[in-house]
Amino acid sequence: MSEASLKLRVFNNGNILSMGMEDYLAGVVAAEMPALFHPEALRAQAVASRGYAARKMKLFGGQGCSRAPDADICTSPAHCQGWLSREKQQELWGSSYSSHRKKIEEAVKATAGSVLYYQGKIANTVFHSTCGGMTESAVNVWGNDVPYLRSVVCTNEKHSPHHHKKHQISLAELSEKTGISFRETQAILTDGTPLLQKESVSNANTLMALRVAGKSISGSELRQALNLPSLWLDWNLQAIEFVSKGYGHRVGLCQYGADGYARNGMTWKEILKHYYGSAEIKLIEAVTDEGGGSALPLSGTVIAVDPGHGGGSSGAVGPKGLKEKDVVLDISLRLTKKLSEKGAKVVLTRANDIALTLQKRVVTANEANADFFISIHANGHENAAANGTETYHYPGSNLGKAFADTIQKEMIERLGRRNRGVKTASFYVLRYTAMPAILAEIAFITNREEEKLLSDAAFREKAADALLSGITKRFLVISKLHVNK
């Protein structure tokens, strides 16, 4: 899938926007890095932001944005990463809009499709404004030791306005914001014990823990309470003056450092190598699974598979007693295994011979926020000569029709039965599901020839393969765009 066709769902100001990756990244780089930075720094930022977004996308196995279940990512820099619309960029840059936009678009296009991988997975390419002279290791900030997010020296960010800053605070404000009583802080000052004492500092100078008026708190608690820009902290107790170095969590790419290194001749690839160490730059499409094939085509998608009937509802019954409920359950289980092997999360409405209401089937799919719903059946008719394969979708559902067309085509090609076509019906499971939904009638169990086929494990395997192929092809066409039925 090319970057031009790759779509993602972005949660912005209460709405979910569908946009191409290139346009999205231009808005991210505009929000996250000054447009006046060196082109090679902007390219490094584009790669970091692309990887950060791809890692969250359901298409690549991510969990999406927790603030909006239907979105891949949001535009809050405090939660995901920033993003500016073209209108906001024009407001920000004024007469420089055209030149700045062109410069950023070039950075996105020059790195098209490039992300960082580590051990076969998209790397978590976090970034920050200013490190203060040395980046921090992820383990000291978030508790997870990430091999490509370890501390490195950074000597080219001294032009940052955040390289070091002084922050004065009164004794009363310190007491109020840390929750330590004013009386306690005053007592400490009179008995000669230092008001502030460092307890633990990382090798990259991150303040991990300290004592305030004799009470132990974490560096993160202090930073949050006093709204300090980073955890590289020193202080002057005579005036209660904090001196901070850097801005942000200080893990991964240092943006001002990237600009400095670029101005000293580093390429975007060399900059990324410096900050992300053992991670490798690759194209999204180039990553392979263990079998040597392409990336799992259904990774990140959710498929609801509904074996028809069950329990006391046997469905149609063949001349030799073959029951629809048993046939479709077997095909559904085969399909589930195949979908899972392709990276999909499968939600079965039933995995054994139990009775289910139509409402329960629909609720199961809707609560799973499935991307597709497929109900599997074997047809029946009082005319024993009736035969062939057909697929249903809900009337007026364009996505449902497209899905049904693809499934029907695959079943006819692989099963070789009479083509009864794609039809519409207001079946409950098609009417009330919140995603593209179809009902597939594999063959007529009431027809002697087709009952024999449906009783054959090889034919059921072919049916599962046909459904898998149809689902995969349809998924790749729409790239998981969230569109109502």
Residues with a known catalytic role: 441
Nearest alpha carbon to residue 375 among 279, 319, 442: 442
Non-local CB neighbours of 129 within 8 Å, separated by 6+ positions: 160, 162, 246, 247, 248, 254, 255, 256
Alpha helix locations (H) across 227-304? 255-263, 268-276
Task: Indicate the DSSP class of residue 278.
Answer: T
Q: Report the distance separating Cα 132 and Cα 29, nearest Å.
A: 22
Nearest alpha carbon to residue 138 among 188, 70, 206: 206
Non-local CB neighbours of 180 within 8 Å, separated by 6+ positions: 174, 212, 213, 215
Q: Report the distance separating Cα 134 and Cα 153, nearest Å.
A: 4
Q: Report the distance separating Cα 447 and Cα 435, nearest Å.
A: 32
Nearest alpha carbon to residue 440 among 460, 461, 411, 415: 411
Residue 370: phi, psi to the nearest 5? -65, 150
Q: Report the distance separating Cα 465 and Cα 374, nearest Å.
A: 14
Alpha helix locations (H) across 57-96? 86-93
Nearest alpha carbon to residue 307 among 299, 317, 315: 315
